[in-house]
């Protein structure tokens, strides 16, 4: 029994010693940090001041957004009924009856909205390149955008930025597309199906106007695509009607022409073709970002962390050698 007791004491002794060593190391750690407190305080102060100046230098960014709902595609009911009966004839005629399995029109519209072609046409149509690429800040009193004079001279409408080839002084549509993607945001609520389109800009008025233009143009673009497709289908079907004398086939073709005519009529009488505006975009009264307080706090924490790290490296690395 005495031998077993002695063995247990011998086994537990190293464990106790390790715990004691850990406690000593922990105390030593805090002592070392306290001794180097001047370095920690200096770096924390330096990073805090730098982060404050950095946060102040950032321009206010305003966000404007609109809530949309998918427009009811009433024409799909008639086409859906025809799909089961005349799908074969329709496919031969090159007409899509929407018999399921196709691309959702809402999702298609959002992809078109984010496409390079749509973006380039949008930028050129409304001449928003200076506001997209050279806007520096916004003057609330005069409601005007202040441009970066190293990039663009507003009074001369001239780009003067210095870039290397293959880039030019005036930004290309590829450059503009990359910047446009950073300013435009879309989101689809999977539960309700509602769509949000938002724009961030230094000017809340420009952000609101861009959202309005985007909704208007995507509706017009999708409408034009469907009308063009329906017109081509109608033209083809009319040619087939002139060439066939079989009554049953002519009846099917007449039905298809009727549905394409409904598509054209539906598109021409409806402005909100793909998206219905539930909650329109507004001019934001409060900035969306930057979060200057968070930037300042993060800067202070980063300075403190770097200070502690330097203190530990200076005092522990030499001991290890």
Q: Are residues 187 and 112 in the same domain?
A: yes
Which residues of the chain fall short of a pLDDT of 50?
A: 1, 4, 8-9, 11, 15-16, 19-22, 24, 74-85, 93-94, 98-102, 320-321
Residue among 130, 126, 136, 138 at smallest CA distance from 157: 130
pTM listed for this prediction: 0.76
Q: Are residues 217 and 87 in the same domain?
A: yes
Per the structure, the complete domain to which residue 16 belongs is given by: 2-58+292-320
Count the Cβ atoms, other than its own, within 10 Å of residue 25.
9
Q: Are residues 108 and 184 in the same domain?
A: yes
Q: Are residues 94 and 199 in the same domain?
A: yes
At 162-198, the pLDDT tens digits run 989 888 999 999 999 999 999 999 999 988 889 999 9
Q: What are phi and psi of 197, to 5 degrees?
A: -115, 125
| Three-state SS annotation for 7-21 | HHHHHHHHHHHHHHH
Which residue in the block uniquely carries the two structure tokens 């307080």? 293
Q: Are residues 87 and 196 in the same domain?
A: yes
Q: Are residues 263 and 119 in the same domain?
A: yes
* 113 within some domain: yes
Q: Are residues 193 and 222 in the same domain?
A: yes
Q: Are residues 12 and 43 in the same domain?
A: yes
* 158 within some domain: no
Q: Which token pair is 247?
A: 């009554």
Task: Say if residue 99 is exposed, middle or buried (CB neighbours under 10 Å; 0-12, 13-18, 19+).
Answer: middle
* 152 within some domain: no
Query: What's the confidence (pLDDT) of residue 75?
Result: 46
C-alpha 172/C-alpha 48 separation (Å) is: 39
Q: Are residues 187 and 44 in the same domain?
A: no
Q: Which token pair is 102?
A: 């196709």
Q: How many domains does the chain have?
A: 2
* 266 within some domain: yes
Q: At what angle do helices 247-268 and 75-93 cross, to 10 degrees?
A: 130
Query: What's the confidence (pLDDT) of residue 89?
Result: 52
Q: Are residues 309 and 253 in the same domain?
A: no
Query: What's the confidence (pLDDT) of residue 314?
Result: 78
C-alpha 201/C-alpha 180 separation (Å) is: 10
Q: Are residues 272 and 206 in the same domain?
A: yes
Query: What's the confidence (pLDDT) of residue 263?
Result: 79
C-alpha 291/C-alpha 117 separation (Å) is: 34
Pairing of strands 62-70, 275-279: antiparallel
* Contact between 227 and 267 (Cβ < 8 Å): yes
* 33 within some domain: yes
The number of C-alpha atoms within 13 Å of 30 and in the hemisphere containing its C-beta is 5
Q: Are residues 235 and 135 in the same domain?
A: yes
The number of C-alpha atoms within 13 Å of 35 and in the hemisphere containing its C-beta is 12
182: domain CATH number is: 3.30.1890
Which residues in 4-23 are b (16+ Cβ under 10 Å) and which e? Answer: eeeeeeeeeeeeeeeeeeee
* Contact between 158 and 152 (Cβ < 8 Å): yes
* 270 within some domain: yes
Q: Which token pair is 258?
A: 């009727």
Query: What's the confidence (pLDDT) of residue 80?
Result: 46
* 164 within some domain: no
* 309 within some domain: yes
């Amino acid at each position: 029994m005495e031998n077993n007791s002695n063995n247990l004491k011998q086994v537990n002794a190293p464990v106790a010693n390790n715990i004691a060593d850990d406690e000593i190391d922990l105390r030593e750690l805090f002592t070392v940090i306290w001794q180097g407190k001047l370095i920690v305080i200096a770096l924390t102060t330096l990073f805090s001041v730098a982060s404050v100046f950095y946060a102040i230098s950032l321009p206010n960014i305003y966000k404007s957004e609109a809530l949309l709902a998918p427009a009811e595609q009433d024409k799909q009911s008639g086409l859906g009924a025809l799909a089961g009966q005349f799908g074969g004839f329709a496919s031969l005629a090159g007409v899509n009856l929407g018999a399921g399995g196709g691309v959702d029109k809402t999702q298609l519209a959002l992809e078109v909205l984010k496409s390079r072609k749509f973006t380039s046409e949008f930028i050129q149509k409304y001449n928003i390149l200076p506001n997209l690429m050279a806007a520096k800040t916004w003057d609330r009193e005069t409601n005007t955008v202040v441009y970066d004079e190293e990039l663009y001279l507003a009074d001369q409408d001239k780009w003067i930025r210095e870039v290397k080839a293959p880039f030019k002084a005036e930004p290309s549509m590829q450059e503009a597309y990359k910047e446009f993607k950073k300013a435009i945001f879309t989101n689809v609520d999977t539960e309700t199906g509602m769509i949000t389109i938002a724009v961030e800009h230094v000017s809340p008025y420009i952000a609101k106007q861009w959202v309005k233009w985007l909704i208007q143009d995507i509706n017009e673009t999708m409408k034009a695509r469907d009308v063009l497709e329906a017109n081509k289908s109608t033209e083809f079907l009319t040619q087939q009607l002139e060439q066939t004398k079989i009554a049953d086939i002519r009846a099917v073709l007449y039905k298809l022409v009727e549905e394409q005519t409904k598509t054209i009529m539906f598109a021409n009488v409806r402005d909100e073709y793909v998206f219905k505006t539930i909650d329109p975009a507004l001019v934001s009264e409060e900035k969306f970002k930057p979060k200057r307080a968070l930037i300042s706090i993060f800067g202070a924490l980063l300075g403190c962390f770097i200070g502690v790290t330097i203190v530990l490296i200076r005092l522990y690395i030499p001991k290890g050698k």
